[in-house]
């Protein structure tokens, strides 16, 4: 997430930065004025088991997508073609009303239950559209067997009114009275409070939710009308992307996921693979593989493909690794970006494609080809065969498996490699090479790759 902070007369402003359980109308006993409010009925399609995590995820937004309430419809129109290409999940931006209303990218959350139906924060719709439009998006996704991943921002809040705060001796912007009537908050629910002064980390000066408070836990995942259960059972979301998880303990993600199930990934922005692994294991969730991202960035920027042999979460625990080449916050792989996609779409982990790369900036046909190879050929564990400044070769050992050959030099390259196929005709499934060599009886074969390109070989 991205943000800038200003004091307001000062308003907080962000640029941008398993169990299935039925929702009921029962009243929830807690210590706030919104105890007995009924759950607003969305009519969204209820989520069922889908394949998120097995194919390829699409990040279905970028920073500052067009405002004006058109984005949900834009995404809806693309869902059938994405599904046909081999996408199995779409990650949406934070979908509820934030402090900056119809201009907000959603990372300054105010009312977790307003999907574009209440007149507050200066608008009825969110930046992305109305409640009816996101309902339609989710329904369309499900009819195309796509999972829908909700972006969950629970480290901080924004848009509260000023109130006297006995824990600070002054006033804080911690009086939240959302129009939905659900999850009202006060200074008791933020740091500092009577439990402790801080948790793992605050963000941008915004009021920092205290996850050790029972009241906060109840509204996040314990109550029958909690965020987790409402999003899953009423709206129909299938999984969760947690924002800025450095700001709170991993058990928060674990408890949320355990309350409703679903694919879960956290944004732990750190290039240390061991740190990512520790967080993922503690949260019992996947993590975005920033270690892989930075290795790819350095490999391509410095003309040193040996970086691709470095430590990454996908090599420590591929089951927990969500790999990516760019996202709404960071896009530092400028040169030969398609080679980075060739890497993540042929290696272990769960690849995520960035909307603008797919729809605007790169060759969609090449990306669709790589998605098909990922879903149909790139199986099994990985053996790393060769790397130098310009060349990188690896083998996936499943059935049928592949040989991927990445060449970042200015000329065609050839190399003998050891395959898993004896006396077998193979071909390049990218179409970049017309060779159809036959592997030797000892499984070795010569393959080639074009300049600043790649080939991916498998049985014909």
**Rounded to the nearest 10 degrees, how much is the dihedral formed by the CA atoms of 343, 63, 71, 61?**
20
Give the SS3 label for residue 134.
helix
Read off the tokens for 270. Answer: 């750190």
Whether 243 is catalytic: yes
Pairing state of beta strands 109-111 and 97-98?
antiparallel
What DSSP line would sit under 143-157, residue for residue?
HTT-EEEEEE--SB-
Read off the tokens for 311. Answer: 């430590």
Catalytic residue, from 243, 348, 390, 391: name it. 243
Nearest to 23 by CA among 304, 332, 236: 236
Return d(Cα 447, Cα 460) in angstroms, integer.
14
Give the SS3 label for residue 91.
strand
Q: CA angle 85-90-91, nearest 5°?
A: 145
Q: CA angle 73-12-168, nearest 5°?
A: 140
Give the SS3 label for residue 362.
coil
CB 231 within 8 A of CB 262: no
Whether 175 is catalytic: no
* Distance, CA of 301 to chain centre: 24
Catalytic residue, from 108, 238, 267, 289: name it. 267
Nearest to 255 by CA among 209, 216, 289: 216
The reply, when asked if residue 212 is annotated as ligand binding, is: yes
Annotated binding residues for Ca(2+), as ranges? 155, 198, 212
Annotated binding residues, as ranges? 155, 198, 212
> Among all residues, which ones are annotated catalytic?
243, 267
């Amino acid at each position: 997430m991205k943000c800038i902070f200003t004091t307001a007369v000062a308003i907080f402003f962000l640029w941008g930065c398993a169990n299935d359980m039925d929702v009921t109308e029962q009243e929830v006993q807690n210590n706030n004025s919104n105890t007995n409010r009924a759950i607003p009925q969305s009519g969204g399609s209820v989520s069922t088991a889908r394949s998120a995590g097995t194919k390829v995820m699409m990040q279905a937004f970028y920073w500052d997508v067009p405002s004006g309430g058109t984005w949900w419809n834009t995404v809806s129109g693309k869902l059938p073609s994405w599904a046909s290409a081999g996408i199995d999940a779409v990650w949406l931006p934070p979908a509820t009303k934030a402090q900056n209303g119809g201009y907000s990218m959603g990372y300054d959350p105010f009312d977790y239950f307003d999907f574009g139906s209440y007149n507050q924060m200066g608008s009825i719709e969110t930046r992305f559209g109305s409640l009816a439009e996101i309902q339609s998006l989710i329904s369309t996704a499900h009819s195309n067997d796509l999972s829908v991943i909700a972006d969950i921002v629970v480290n901080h809040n924004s848009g509260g009114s000023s109130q006297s705060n006995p824990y600070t001796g002054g006033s804080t912007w911690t009086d939240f009275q959302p129009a939905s009537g659900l999850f009202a908050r006060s200074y008791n629910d933020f740091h500092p409070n009577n439990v402790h002064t801080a948790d793992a980390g605050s963000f941008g000066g915004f009021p920092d939710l205290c996850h050790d408070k029972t009241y906060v836990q109840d509204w996040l995942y314990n109550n029958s009308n909690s965020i987790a259960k409402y999003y899953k059972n009423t709206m129909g979301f299938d999984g969760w992307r947690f924002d800025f998880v450095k700001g709170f303990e991993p058990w928060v993600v674990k408890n949320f996921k355990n309350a409703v199930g679903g694919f879960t990934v956290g944004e732990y922005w750190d290039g240390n693979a061991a740190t990512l692994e520790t967080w993922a294991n503690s949260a019992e969730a996947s993590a975005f593989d920033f270690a892989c991202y930075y290795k790819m960035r350095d490999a391509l920027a410095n003309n040193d493909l040996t970086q691709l042999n470095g430590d990454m979460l996908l090599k420590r625990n591929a089951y927990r690794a969500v790999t990516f080449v760019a996202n709404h916050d960071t896009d530092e792989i400028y040169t030969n970006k398609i080679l980075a996609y060739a890497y993540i779409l042929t290696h272990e982990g769960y690849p995520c494609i960035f909307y603008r790369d797919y729809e605007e900036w790169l060759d969609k046909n090449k990306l669709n080809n790589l998605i098909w190879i990922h879903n149909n050929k790139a199986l099994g564990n990985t053996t790393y065969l060769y790397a130098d400044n310009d060349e990188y070769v690896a083998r996936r050992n499943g059935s049928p498996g592949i040989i991927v050959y990445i060449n970042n030099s200015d000329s065609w390259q050839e190399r003998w490699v050891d395959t898993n196929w004896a006396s077998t005709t193979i071909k390049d499934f990218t179409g970049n090479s017309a060779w159809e060599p036959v592997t030797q009886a000892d499984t070795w074969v010569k393959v080639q790759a074009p300049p600043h390109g790649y080939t991916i070989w498998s049985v014909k």
